[in-house]
Structures are given as C-alpha cells and as structure tokens.
Copies of this chain bind each other. A is one copy, B any other.
Amino acid sequence: MAIKESLRPGGRSARVQTSVHQAVKDLLGEVERSELTIPAVAARAGVTPSTIYRRWGTLQDLLADVAVERLRPDGEPADTGSARGDLDAWLEQFVDEMASAPGRAMTRDVLACTAGAAPQCSAFTRRQIETIAARAAARGEPAVDIDAVMDHVVAPIVYRIMFDESPPGDAYRRALLDRVRPAGR
C-alpha cells in the first residue's frame, strides 16, 4: 500500500502522524526489531492499531516513512571555503550516518518499500551535492560534476555499506574523492 501524502494537514491527523512517528523512533531504540509490531506502536502512540493499518498499510511502509524523515538532511552542507573541503566534510558525515547500525537499518527500510522512498533519499543526497556545486560555481572554481560524484563516490560507498560487512574507512573515502576531484582543488 502506498503511503498517503495528501491527508488533512492539521488537527487530529497531524497529531496522530506525529505520535505514531515518535512511537516508532522510541521503540526502535528500546526493543528488538522482532518486537516492533504495529500493535506495539499503536499502544505506545495512544492510537488503535486499525488507524495505523488503514493509514500506512504495513509495518514496512511505516518504517520506510519514518526512515525517509530521519534521512532528510537538516541543513545545508558546511561551507569550508572550497569544493574539495565541502565534499570532504559532507562525505565524512554521510559515511558516519549511513554506516552506523541505525543508518543501515533505515536504508534497508527505505529500499524494502516499493513506493518510491528510495528515489526520495537519493534525491536528498544529490541536492546536497548540488548545493556544494552551486557554491563552487559562485566562487569561480572548476565545475563539480554532480553525476560523477553520485556514480563514483556515493554509489561505491553505499554499495559497500549495504552489500559488505566492513564500513568504508577514511582513506577509502578520500581516494574516491581524489578520483573525481584531485586533492586540494
């Protein structure tokens, strides 16, 4: 079932959405994944299970909905004065978040959902890089190839995080960046 986007924006609906999301976030940190059931979320949120079933359909879709919210960047990437510095700083934080156990779990939730959650997350990432690219252009630096960063920096890192056990280290991260944008530029 697709996640409903256009529901009543204010009042009770909004309160239910908030309390259900909060309940999921709370329980994710308190109980095992196998105990994270819709009835449990409903009880914690103070709503009836049928409300969640009707609005989100399945636990997977609810988890994906929450994960997308949490993966949404809270602000712009830090401005370090150069494109390389911006990319380096942003990437370090990105890797830390994505490689952490909660980050991996959220990414799994997002991928498991068939209703367009993954493209949304990919778009978040791209937008951050676009911001960095725009800043570089404003400074008169050589253009940042956004697709190259997505394909040859972001993709290998995400692939390794999701398909291998070992998290990418600092050296690996810098090497990828060097490949699309030589150090110091």
Q: Which residue of B lies closest to A125 (CB)?
A: B163
Residue-wise, chain A 118-142 has the 8 Å CB interface mask toward B (1 for contact) of 1101100000000000000000000
- Count contacts on A: residues with CB < 8 A to the other chain: 24
**Complex CA–CA separation, A152 to B160 (angstroms):** 12
Residues of B within 8 A of A119 (CB): 163-165
Q: How far is the CB of A159 from chain B (nearest CB, A)?
A: 4
A158, CB-defined interface residue at 8 Å: yes
| Residues in B neighbouring A165, C-beta threshold 8 A | 116, 119
**Candidates B112, B116, B155; contact of A108 at CB < 8 Å:** B112
A122 with B164: CB separation less than 8 A: yes
A23 located at the interface, meaning its Cβ lies under 8 Å from any Cβ of chain B in the complex: no
Q: Which residues of B contact A159 (CB under 8 A)?
A: 122, 150-151, 154-155, 158-159
6 contacts between A and B (CB under 8 A): A108-B114, A111-B112, A150-B159, A151-B176, A152-B156, A155-B160
